[in-house]
Structure 1
Amino acid sequence: MQQHTSSYYAASTNNQREFPQLNQDIRCDVCIIGAGFSGLSSALHLAEKGFHVVVLESVKVGFGATGRNGGQVVNSYSRDVDVIEQRYDKITAQALNEMIFEGGEIIRSRIAQYNIDCDYQAGGVFAANNLKQFKGLQEQKANWERFGNHQLQLLDKAELEQIVGTTAYQGGLLDMQGGHIHPLNLALGEAEAVLSLGGEIYEQSAVLDYQAGEPAKVTTEHGSVTANYLLFAGNAYLGELEPKLSDKAIRCGTQVVATEPLSDELCQQLIPKNYCVEDCNYLLNYYRLSADKRLLFGGGVAYGAKPLASIEKQIRPKFEALFPQLKGTAVDYAWTGNFLLTYSRMPQFGRLDSNIYYLQGYSGHGLTCTHLAGKLLAEVLSDQAKRFDVFASLNHYRFPGGRHLQVPFTALGAVYYNLRDKLGI
C-alpha cells in the first residue's frame, strides 16, 4: 500500500487519520477524482452549498503536489497582470485579473472558519537578482495596486537585506497578502471540514475507468461511484485516465529540502521576520522557515518529471550560495513533487461533457489558484457559470514537438530564459 513521499510535511502532520478504501457501489451528486487542493477545495465549496460529494484518491489525501510544494501563498497566476492584458481582450483580462487575490483570501478564511492548524504566517517577498527584475517588481506593484492589493512595499537593496540575510539581491517586493503554511496540514484540515459537512473521502481508491453519460460512473478496484457530475482534479498525478487532459500539458518535477532545525540566532540572520521568499528568475528558488525552524528550500525544474539521482546535490549549492553560514548544515528531508505546466502558463478549467469538468495546469502557482478553482467549480454547478467560463474560454495550445519532443523543446527554452536571467537582460 503506497504512502506519502518521505517529505518534511508527511513527517510533521497533525492528523494521521486513515481514510477508508472504497469497497462498495455508491451514488452522489458530485464525484471528484483527486484529493489534492483542487479536489478538496471543490468538495468543500460544494458541500457548503448542500451537494453530496465523494472524493476518490489513488493514494493518500495530499499525496501529490498539494503535500509536497513550497508552502508559499503566492498571489496571481503563473502569468501576471501585464501578460494577461497583452494576451487577452479587455473584458477577459479584466475578469481574470479581478480574481488574482481571491485564492489567498479563501485560504485565510478556511483556516479561520474551520480552525485549521497549518502554521500560517503572513508575508511573502519577491527578490530581484538584477535591476531589470527590480524594475519588473515596480511594475508588478503598480498593477497589483490597480486590482486592490494595498499591502505591498517596494524594498531597495539595503531594506531587503534587513528582511533576507543575504547580499545577493538588488531589491524586492513585500506582499503582506502573501505568506506561507504547512500545505499538507491545510489539506488535511480541509478534508476534515468536507467530512463534517457530509462529504465522503476514500484513499487507496484509484479510478480505473469512467463512463460518460447522465449520470456518469467511475470504477475503482473494489467499488464504483455513480454521480450526476464528475470532476477530474488529479492534475499532474492524473496519469492516462483521460488522454484529452494529459495531452494538454506536461508534467514537471521540482525539488525541495528541509534542513535540520536551526538555532534562533541563525534564523534571525536568515529571515528575521519569518517571511517566505522567492526570486524572480525563470527557474526560480523559493524558501522559508518552518514552524520548527528548519530552512525549507526549493528550486529547479525537471521537465518530464524525470527523477534526480540526488536532490540534495541539486539544492545544497543554491542555499549555501545565498547563506554561506549554512555550509555543512545537515539536510534531514529531501523530496520531489510534480506540477503540471501549460503552454500558456495559465490554468486550464473546462468541460469534457455537459456534466464532466476538469481543473488542472497551475504551472507552479497551484496553492492559491486551486482554492479559487474550487470556488468557481461550485459556482458553475450552482448555475453561476460566468466566472468559470472566463477560464474555460481560454485557448489551450499543445507544446510544440508532440509527445516525443515537447519535453526537450521546453527544456531548451528554459535554458534560453535562464541565460537571460544570469545576464540580466
Structure 2
Amino acid sequence: MATPTYAGDGSYPPSYYAASRAIIRQPVTLKGEVKADICVVGAGYSGLSAALHLAEQGFKVVVVEGASIGWGASGRNGGQVVNGLNASLDTIGRRYGEQTAQFVGGMVQEGAGIIYDWVERYGIDCDLRRGNIYAAYTPQHLRELEAKQTLWRKYGMDDHEMLDKAAIRRHIGSTVYEGGMIDHSGGHMHPLNLALGEAKALEGLGGVIYENSPVIKVDQAADQATVRTAHGTVTANAVLVCGNAYLGNVVPELTARVMPVSTQMVATAPLGKERAEALLPTGMCVEDVRYILDYFRLSADHRLIFGGGVVYGGTDPADVIAKLRPNIDKVFPQLADVKIDYAWSGNFALSFSRVPQLGRLGDKVYFAHGYSGHGVTGSHLFGRILAEAVRGDLTRFDTFAKLPWIPFPGGRMFRAQYSTLGSWWYALKDRLGL
C-alpha cells in the first residue's frame, strides 16, 4: 500500500492530462539505504532535466519524488513551450546590467531546444506541435509586442512574426484581439506525457526513480549528503533540490524564497475536428499579454484546453469552471453550448523578482526554483545548468547564483496578501486597457 503523502496516496489530480497519459507506471517506494552519485529531490521538469542530463554523462542518478512523476506543475500546466523568463530582458538589464541581459538573452530559447531534442531522440509521445501566439487586446498591447520583437532581435532572436487584426483572425477564430505576434520557435505539447517520457528515458539510461516517497530532511556532511524519507535514505556525492512549489518546509532555508501560486485550467468535451480547427485553424497555442492572462490550445483529440487566473498562496478556488467559463465565453462565444469535461488547479513557484533562482547550500546541496509561470522551458534549461555545476562547470550556475534574491514584503505570513493587492491593481489596468 502506498505511503500517504501531502498528495494523499500520490495519485494524480483528476485532470485531462492524467486521464489521457500515455504511460501507466507501477511506482516503487524508497525503502532501506541506497547510494548514488547524485540524488535529485523532485520528479518534475527541473529534476528530470538535471537527472537526464547527468545520466547521459554516465552518472548514477537516483530521483526521489513525494507523489507521482510530474504530479505538480509539470503535469498540470498549459503545455505551452513559451520562450523567455517572466522578467523581461530589458528588466533584467536595468536591474543587473547589460552584461547579465546579454548572458540571459543568449539562452532563453535553449529550454525549448532541450524539449524538442529529447522528444525526437527518445521518441516521447507528447503530441508536440510548433508555434505559439501572443495575443493583443489593445493597440497598447500590440505596441508592447512590437517592442518585444525589437528587443529579442537585439539579442539575436528573430523567430517572431507580427500579426495585425486581419492576420490574427487567420490563426484564432475570435474577434476580440487587436493583433498579436507568433513565436515560431515556441510550441505546445501534452505536459504530463512529456514528463513521463523523460522519466522513461532516464530509466533507460540506468537512472532510478522512487515515487510516493516524500523527503523529510536533507543532511550534508563533509564528504556526502543524505536525503531521508520515512522509510529510507539516499546517500550521494551531491543533492539537487527541485521541489519548487511543492517542496514545503523540507529545506527551511528555501521556504521563504518563493511563494506557491495556483492557476486554473479546464478541458472541454471533444469538439470534433472541424469545430476545433475553426477555433485555431493553424493549431498554434495562444496566450494573451495581460498581467492576469488567459492561455489556450487544442488537444490531440480536439478539445479546447483553457487556463487562466491566479490565487496567491496556492489555494484552489471553490469552482474552477465558474471562474474560467466567462473568460472562455468572451474569447469564444460560439462555445456557449459546450460541456466542460475536466477542471483542475495547480501551483507554480513565484519569486518576488520573477527571475528563477539557482544556488547552493553548503558544498553538496544545489537548488533551482521560482520560474514564476514560465517553468516549461525554464526548468529544462536550469536542470541542464544544475547538471553542468555538478560536473564542475560553474560558469552559468554562478552567474545566476550571484543574482540577489528579494524577499516578499510582509514575510511568509503576509506575502500572499501583499501579492493579491498588487494583482488587483494590475487586473484593474487589464480591464481599463492600460
TM range (shorter): over 0.9
Q: Which residue of 2 aligns with 1:375?
A: 384
For the residues of structure 1 that align with 2:73 and 2:334, how far apart are their CA atoms?
30
What letter matches 1:202 in structure 2?
Y
Aligned with 1:363 (options 364, 372, 387): 372
Q: Give the match for residue 405 of structure 1.
A: 414
Contact 2:258 2:351 in 1 (8 A): yes
Match of 2:301 in 1: 292
How far residue 381 of structure 1 moved from its aligned partner, in angstroms, is 1.2
Q: How big is each residue's C-alpha offset from its partner over 1:207-229, in whole Å with a ceiling of 9 and x where there is no partner?
A: 11221222011111221100110
- Whether the 8 Å CA contact 1:96–1:390 is kept in 2: the answer is no
Note the C-alpha offset of 1:402: 1.4
- Following superposition, which runs of at least 4 residues in structure 1 exceed 2 angstroms of deviation? 145-151
Q: Indicate whether 1:25 and 2:29 are aligned.
A: no
| Deviations 1:306-354, CA, capped at 9 Å, x for gaps | 1211100001110111111100311110000000111000001110111
Indicate yes or no: 2:308 matched with 1:302: no
Greater shift in the superposed pair: 374-383 or 32-41: 374-383
1:415 maps to a residue whose letter is W
Counterpart for residue 344 of structure 2 = 335
Q: Distance in 1 between matches of 2:425 and 2:225?
A: 45
Residues 69-84 of structure 1 aligned to structure 2 (within 5 Å) = 69-84=77-92
Quick one: distance in 2 between partners of 1:286 and 1:246? 29
SS of residue in 2 equivalent to 1:208? strand
Asked if the contact 1:149–1:177 (Cα under 8 Å) also holds between the matched residues in 2, the reply is: no
Which residue number corresponds to residue 319 of structure 1?
Answer: 328
Q: What is the CA–CA distance in structure 2 between the aligned matches of 1:148 and 1:6, rounded to whole Å?
A: 42
Please give the TM-score of this superposition, normalised by the length of structure 2.
0.96
| CA-CA distance at 1:51 after TM superposition | 1.1
1:241 and 2:237 aligned: no
- Counterpart of 1:161, as a letter, is R
Q: RMSD across aligned C-alpha pairs, in angstroms?
A: 1.0
| In 1: Cα distance, 2:226 partner to 2:274 partner | 57
| 2:159 equivalent among 151, 155, 164 | 151
SS for the counterpart of 2:378 is: helix
| Unpaired segments ≥5 residues, structure 1 | none
Q: Counterpart of 2:134 in structure 1: which amino acid?
A: F
- Distance in 2 between residues matched to 1:406 and 1:239, nearest whole Å: 15
Counterparts of 2:10 and 2:171 in 1: how far apart (Å)?
A: 41
- SS of structure 1 residue aligned to 2:48: helix
Kindly provide the amino acid, as one letter, of the partner of residue 108 in structure 1.
Y
In structure 1, what is the Cα distance between the partners aligned to 2:267 and 2:167?
Answer: 27
Superposition deviation, residue 128 in structure 1:
0.8
Question: What is the match of residue 346 of structure 1?
Answer: 355
2:212 aligned with 1:210 = no
Deviation at 1:265, TM superposition (A): 2.3
Q: Which residue type is aligned with residue 273 of structure 2?
A: D
- Which residue matches 2:6? none
Q: 1:130 and 2:117 equivalent?
A: no
Is 1:52 equivalent to 2:57 in the alignment? no
Specify the alignment match of 1:395 in structure 2.
404
Do 2:40 and 2:62's aligned partners in 1 also have CA atoms closer than 8 Å? Answer: yes
Inter-partner Cα distance in structure 2 for 1:148 and 1:191 = 33
The separation in 2 between residues aligned to 1:217 and 1:404, in whole angstroms, is 30
Name the amino acid aligned to 1:391.
F
AA at the equivalent of 1:54: V
**Deviation larger for 398-407 or 253-262:** 398-407
Partner of 1:98: 106
Cα distance in 2 for partners of 1:272, 1:311 equals 27
Asked if 1:171 corresponds to 2:179, the answer is yes
Separation in structure 1 between the aligned mates of residue 36 and residue 19 of structure 2, nearest angstrom: 34
The one-letter amino acid paired with 1:233 is: C
Q: What's the CA shift for 1:268?
A: 2.3
Residue 261 of structure 1: how far off its partner (Å): 0.3
Give 1:250's match in structure 2, choosing from 259, 274, 292: 259
Match of 1:189?
Answer: 197
2:6 equivalent to 1:4 = no
CA contact (8 A) 1:126 1:172 kept: yes
Secondary structure of residue in 1 paired with 2:215: coil
**Offset at residue 423 of structure 1 (A):** 1.7
CA deviation string 1:110-162 (max 9, x = no partner): 10111111000001000011111111100111122233332211000111011
Q: Aligned to 1:420, what secondary structure does the other structure show?
A: helix
1:92 and 1:146 map into 2 onto residues whose CA distance is 14
SS for the counterpart of 2:420 is: helix
**2:5 — aligned with what?**
none
Q: Supply the AA of the counterpart residue of 2:305.
A: L
- Percent identical: 47
* Structure 1 residue aligned with 2:290: 281
- Letter of the aligned partner of 1:153 in structure 2? E
Alpha-carbon distance in structure 2 between the residues aligned to 1:166 and 1:56: 45
Paired amino acid for 2:277: Q
Conserved 8 A contact 1:351-1:358 = yes
CA distance in 1, matches of 2:65, 2:143: 44
Partners of 2:114 and 2:153 in 1: how far apart? Answer: 19
CA–CA distance in 1 between the matches of 2:30 and 2:235?
13
- Structure 1: distance between partners of 2:315 and 2:216: 24
Residues 1:424 and 2:433 are matched in the alignment: yes
- Give the Cα–Cα distance (whole angstroms) in 1 for the partners of residues 415 and 338 of structure 2: 38
User: 2:218·2:251 contact (CA, 8 Å) conserved in 1?
Assistant: no
CA displacement at 1:294 relative to structure 2? 0.4
One-letter identity of the residue aligned with 2:95:
R
1:377 is displaced (CA, Å) by: 0.8
Q: Within 1, Cα distance between the matches of 2:87 and 2:144?
A: 13
